[in-house]
Structures are given as C-alpha cells and as structure tokens.
A and B are shown apart, each in its own frame.
Chain A
Amino acid sequence: MSTDQGAGAAGRIAVRKTYKLYIGGAFPRSESGRSYAVTDHRGGFLANAALASRKDARDAVVAARKAFAGWSAATAYNRGQVLYRVAELLEGRRAQFAAEVRAASGAAVRAAEAEVDAAVDRWVWYAGWADKLTQVRGSANPVAGPYFGFSLPEPTGVVAVLAPVSSPLLGLVSVIAPAIVSGNTVVVLAAERCPLPAITLSEVLATSDVPGGVVNVLTGRMAEIAPWLASHMDVNAIDLSAAPEPLGCELAESAAANLKRVLRLGDGDWSAEPGLERMFGYLETKTVWHPVGI
C-alpha cells in the first residue's frame, strides 16, 4: 500500500482506500457508517478513514476489557517475545511507514526514515522492559517480624490513549508500548489529522502474536470521542498528553469520576529519552506478606 494519491500510471484507475477501525482483533466499519478524508501536509487526498462514534469507543473498551485477563496473565517473558516480534514486523513495513510519515509531515526522505527507525528502536526498548519491570519497580520490603513483605507491580487495566499529533509514528509507538508492556490493554484514538501510521500499525498488530483486543485503534475526532473515554467507568487510566487546553482539563475532570490514573506529560520532543514515567504510570502496586518457613 503506498500513500500515492489519485491515478498513478496512465490509464490505471486509482484504488482509493477507505480504512476501518481496529477493535478486538477485527477491522469493523464505524457503527455510525461515517468516514472522513485524510489529507497530506499540502491538503492532497490520501485515503478515507473511519470516523468513529461513541459506540465504537464503547465497543473498543469492551474488547480491551475482554483481552485484559489473558494479556495481563501472560508471563512477562512471553509478553516481551510477542512485542519483539511486533518490532520485526514493523521493520518489514519500513518503506510504507516512511511514506506515510512523509505524507503527513512533509519531512524529507531521510528524516522520515529516521523517525521510522527510531520508532522501531523505541518498540524494542520497551519490549526489553517486559521481564525487567518487576525487578526494577518491585521490592522486598524490610519488615519487623518473622515474615517477608513483597511489593509487586501489576497492570492497572484498560488504558485509553490519545495519540500525539506532533509525531505520527514515533509518538504513537511511545504511548502504546509503555501501556501494553506491563499487561495493560489499550484503546488508542489516532491523531485526527494523520491517522495512517496508526492504521498501518493496527495491520501490523493484527498479523502479529499480540492477542486481539490488546490494542484497539479508533480514528476520528478527539473532541467527540475523548469525553466518552475519559468518563467511562470501565477505563482505568487515560493518557491526555495530546489533548489541547481547555479540553485536557475537562477530560481530567471527568476522568476523576472513577479515579482513573491520568497522564498529562505534554506532546513534546518524542525523539528524546522516553524515561520511565509513562510505563510506571499505568501500574498498581500489590503488597503481600509471606510467612517464613512455610
């Protein structure tokens, strides 16, 4: 799939693409039947994308919740292997991603390729964390008694993510990977203006070993969908970094209804060191006491 627009070689009719959503491992159309035109940085037609409705968001949360039990119970080692394999598949789509990044941002060929490489590297970096998180974040606690106390990080549940606008691929990878590496499942709302890398990522995930429902991709308008995700009582955390003000504040307020974990880290320089904040932001800590000698 290239992102070339319109008719290519003379005489050939262009195959115009109308992409669909990615929910529960399947590619359904929006329940509303709507779609919108995605354009490149100069305003030229690229493809049609589904314009998700609140009901699609609801379905995506249900799919994410359903997938949570299996994904969070998978061993950390297994999750890591699954994510490494995704990186291999991303690498195989390098040219397509680069073309989509170029079309969205107007970046030079080199810069676009560099962003794709950085995105794959970022994914690998997070994949490596899968079986190291517990060692770094967990602890054996000193207790004054004849028993042990252990604190273990556990995934918080369903995470809603608003994808960054400034970096269509690297930014996207940098918000999805830290959520799923620890066993959370996500509903990601792709950037409205440049959703194609997110759609291609969903095609990658669909052919990878990531179980259906672990990542669900919606395309559509942030102002329409985000309030439903933020107020949803079955969403455990939400990344509002990409939300502009005053929408971000309003979303944070409605997220308080069920005490969601809210991340607002800004839509900044995605090529910088990612840090651990995002990955640690979606964890709960379970502390258990373990009697000695039994």
Chain B
Amino acid sequence: MNSSVATAVSDVTSIAASGQALRRFLHGLPGVDEAGAQARAAMLASRSIKTTAKRQALDAAISMIDLTTLEGQDTPGKVLAMCAKARRPDPADATAPPVAAVCVYPDLVPVAVSGVAGSAVRVASVATAFPSGRASVDVKLADVKSAVAAGAGEVDMVIDRGAFLAGRYLGVFEEIAAVRAACGDAHLKVILETGELATLDNVRRASWLAMLAGADFIKTSTGKVAPAATLPVTMVMLEAVRDFRSAHGRQVGVKAAGGIRTAKDAIRYLVLVNETAGEEWLDPRWFRIGASSLLNDLLMQRTRMASGRYSGPDYFTMD
C-alpha cells in the first residue's frame, strides 16, 4: 500500500462518518491483482521446510490451533473430550504444546469453560447467528452477550455478507462496532466468509472494514461454505493487517479457518504469515488456524519425526 493511502486512513471517525465516506475509502483501496496474488501464494507454498525448522513449525502450528467443533450433533461429552485433547494433544508425549483455544457454539461455552479450567487454553464461541448471520441485530447482540456471560474469552462473529455485497458498508460497520461493545473484555474475531465475497478486492475491503470497526482478529471463513480458507485470500488479509498497523498503529490478528487438514498445508500458512505480515504475527496471539482434523495430522508428523517411522490414525483420538 502506498503512503498516501496510509496517511489518508489515519482518522477512523472521519472515514466512518457517513456511508458515502466509508464507501469512498473502501473503494479507494488499491485493487488486488488476482493472478499476481495466486502466483505469489503458490510460490510461497513451494518453500521447503525440513528437519529442525519443520519440528518448530509443527509445534508452532499446534499452539496456534483453535480446536473446533461446530456441529448440530455436538454433545457436552464431545466438547469435554475435545477440551482434554486441547490441553494435552498427544497423551503419549507431554512435549506437544497445548492448542490456543477451543471453539464451540454459545450454548456449549459453560461445558468448554469447565473442560479447560486451570489451563492456558482459551474458550472461543461463535455468535451472531453463526454461520449465516441472518438474524436481527438485537438477536445477534443477545447471542454475543450470552456467550460472554457464560465465560467465552473470544467471540467469533460473522459479518452480514448480504449487506456487504449490497454495498451497505456502514450497516456492517455499525453492527461490528455494536458487537465489539457487547464483547466487553472478550476478544472479537470477525468472520468475513471470503467464500461468499467473490473477489479479492472485496476481501481487502471487508478486512479494512472489520479492522476499522474494532476487530481484534479477522477470520477467513465459517468452515460451512466452500471454498473456505485459501492461501491467496489469507495473503490479502495478512497484507491488510500489516498495512492497517502501519496506518493506525494497532495490530490485528488473522485466523485462517476451514479446509486446512494437513501438516503441509499448515506449514504453508506459517510461511505465508512470515513472508507477508512478518515474524511478529507468528504467535498464537496474532495468528490462529481454525481446524479439527488438522491436529491429528500435525501430531502424526511430529511422532514421525521423533520415532523415525510413519505413524497411523489408529494411534490418535478420533475427532
């Protein structure tokens, strides 16, 4: 991003003073070169990470996972089992780090809180009529408040994609700001659902919109829509948080969620973070991976590196 844009964005209140001003700002953001973004993401994906670097990357990836279960069939038992796994991912190896957080539906937050009590694992809850976001603002805010009251330390909200695509940016902005206020001390992650935003230009605009409205994290997807997280989309979001920090001095995190299933994929994302946003983002406080089956693959790779032989899914818990 060039410096003229950076200086122009220094004042959030004037940007969001009116729908027109906000639209002027978002549409004034430089366009994304889609082919270039894909080529760069593909180039970074071909980096070879081996031996000690790979060992570090696997542990870093584990510590950045938001271990997630977001199904209609979730039971308290399943959430508790997931919490046990979050605290100690590999029962056979205490050196495997715990994951960053567990992510559940709001009604299961109390169960998750009891499951991770006494550990550093945080509890994240989706809210605001996840995953579609189709509910009135009052219902969404009530959803958020109940999750926070139940003990969620992080809230994953979805933006109103319909409003965003219709160009009602101010409405989206105000909704995020209202949710931000309702969160209190809880961290707010804003899900852009990039699979529904159609273009990388929109991804960049939505990223800036969410950050301007007060997001602590911007998150790619709900995991309920295909395509979920992809490397080019995540790269555009990482550029946005980097540029936002240089313009506003506030660091915002990124969460890639959905579709990251193998250790190889996860390591590609870490390379992307390092090369796009920078090393400061390579920390569970600033980069998260939303996943469920990924953890087992990371553990299998970890075991392979420690034992010298390939491991199998029989030796790890099922999700």
Contacts and interface: CB of A to CB of B under 8 A. Distances in A.
Specify which of A65, A228, A232, A233 lies most central, judged by the most chain B CB atoms within 10 Å of its CB. A233
Interface in B301-319: 308-315
B313 A234 contact: yes
Contacts of A228: 309-310
Interface residues of A, number: 12
Interface string A242-266: 0000000000001001100000000
A61 B308 CA distance: 16
Contacts of A235: 312
A231 interface: yes
Chain B interface: which size bin? under 10
A257 B309 contact: yes
Contact of B311 (A65, A233, A254): A233
B309 A61 contact: no
B45 to A, nearest CB: 15
Contacts of B312: 65, 232-235, 258
Contacts of B311: 233-234
Nearest to B310: A232
Interface in B273-319: 308-315
A158 to B, nearest CB: 9
A94 interface: no
A254 B313 contact: no
Contacts of B308: 231
A58 interface: yes
Contacts of A258: 312
A257 B307 CA distance: 11
Contacts of B314: 233-234
A283 to B, nearest CB: 18
Contacts of A231: 308-310
Contacts of B309: 228, 231-233, 254, 257
Interface string A217-240: 000000000001001111100000
B240 to A, nearest CB: 35
B27 to A, nearest CB: 45
Contacts of B310: 58, 61, 228, 231-234
B60 to A, nearest CB: 22
Contacts of A257: 309
A65 B312 CA distance: 10
Nearest to A233: B312
A254 B310 CA distance: 12
B41 to A, nearest CB: 21
A250 to B, nearest CB: 13
A19 to B, nearest CB: 25
Contacts of B315: 233
Interface in A37-66: 58, 61, 65
Interface of A: 58, 61, 65, 228, 231-235, 254, 257-258
Given A231-B310, A233-B310, 15 more contacts: A61-B310, A65-B313, A228-B309, A231-B308, A231-B309, A232-B309, A232-B312, A233-B311, A233-B314, A233-B315, A234-B310, A234-B311, A234-B313, A235-B312, A258-B312
Interface of B: 308-315
8 contacts: A231-B310, A232-B309, A233-B309, A233-B315, A234-B312, A234-B313, A254-B309, A257-B309
